[in-house]
A = this chain, B = another copy of it.
């Protein structure tokens, strides 16, 4: 039994849904189909989820949103008409959306979450109608009905462990089950969404729930690439990688897969296959528990920009037990997360995403650090990039660090920071943003094939 998930771009039009139907029918093991909301039809298009967020916000502020409402309905309508479905499904969707917009607005985050989630929910209903229209035994399944319960955390709810036992019973239902991604229900009956791109998470949860043999994630690329195709043309595709490698790569900028999504599948040991809706016969990328280390120590290189470093020095800092803790407390007071905190004898550096802080807040933080911790010097450097070199077995492959460092040196990139020693499957370099492209190309060249520039 397989769980198959389709992303927005795979569901953006009637033409795409025809491909989806073909794919689902071509393998009788494909039991549960998890769907996102309709995605972009062309690059300047707006995702339905974004339209719904705007719609919800307009209703909260009391602005007129009739046009926005129509636009949303039109998106479904366009697809339905392309597939020659009856008006019934559009009426159902329209009514559902109207009811949601009339609902209680006293808790705005829940109001918004329910409307966001309707994108997936109504698309699942539409797709079930389409499958039925084509004579396929298919049913829309509501997450509450299936038992997908989540924690009470609007915007980033977590699945509750007891859901899995309930979800297992989906195996007993007949036919193909069309399941909306992205949301679940609290015990109190509220709709809450997972983090953005949470349909990946839904698929993972269902795969674990029904103890699937495979979780297939259909998107719009042939595979996960070893490096960002915007930096290196035609990069090598990754045939197989482990969960840990996928998570490290996702974290640092790969956007194929939402990085938390894998965990439920990982915990149940269910392999994942990333495939292309537009090229379903391509093998795609498999994500597994363990793999053979046959292709060298490095599986992929990810990078992300927009970091800053705050350098703090204080005479005899290393004698002051509690200094590090007090520093982190200041960060916590501002609600900030940090990537890494290289420590010296009399100095320490914080590496953070600079987007968390506007320039006014930055002044306050620097001032507070200097004052509360009695630092001798506090200075900030902006516009750093972090590069993650990822691969199982890198840790025991003596020489990978040297090769990476040499590749960077040879291309004239200065290494501002190295973070190695916690993760067993990755090594992190901090460099100036302006050097990022050159650095990633040099690393790719070192560990994969010559760069095609």
A398 & B423 in contact (Cβ 8 Å cutoff): no
**9-residue interface stretch from A14-22, A77-85, A200-208, A311-319:** A311-319
Q: Is the CB of B399 within 8 A of A409?
A: yes
* Given A321-B335, A338-B324, A401-B422 contact (CB < 8 Å): no
Question: In the complex, how many angstroms separate the beta carbon of A249 from the nearest chain B beta carbon?
Answer: 10
- A342 contacts chain B at the CB level, 8 A cutoff: yes
Residue in A260, A322, A328, A348 whose Cβ sees the most chain B Cβ within 10 Å: A328
A:341-358 near B, CB below 8 Å: 341-349, 351
Given contacts A315-B263, A321-B336, contact A402 B398 (CB under 8 A): no
Give the segment of A42-50, A122-130, A228-236, A410-418 that binds chain B: A410-418
A227 to B321, CA, bound (A): 29
Q: What per-residue 1/0 map shows which CB atoms of A394-436 lie under 8 Å from chain B?
A: 0110110110011011101111111111110010001000000
Give the oligomeric copy count.
2
Chain B residues near A340: list those with CB within 8 A.
Answer: 342-343, 421
Chain A interface residue count, Cβ-Cβ cutoff 8 angstroms:
60
Given A324-B341, A402-B402, also A415-B409 (CB < 8 A): no
- Taking the complex as formed, is A362 at the interface, i.e. its CB lies under 8 A from any CB of chain B? no
A242: min CB distance to chain B, Å: 14
Distance between A439 CB and nearest chain B CB, rounded to angstroms: 11
| Chain B residues, CB < 8 A from A263 | 315
From B351, B398, B419, A414 is in contact (CB under 8 Å) with: B398
Q: Does B328 lie within 8 Å of A422, measured CB to CB? A: no
Best-surrounded residue of A247, A263, A343, A416 (most CB of chain B within 10 A): A343
In the complex, A422→B398 CA distance in Å? 24
Could you jot down 10 A-B contacts, CB within 8 Å?
A324-B341, A328-B328, A340-B421, A342-B421, A343-B419, A348-B422, A351-B421, A398-B412, A405-B406, A418-B419
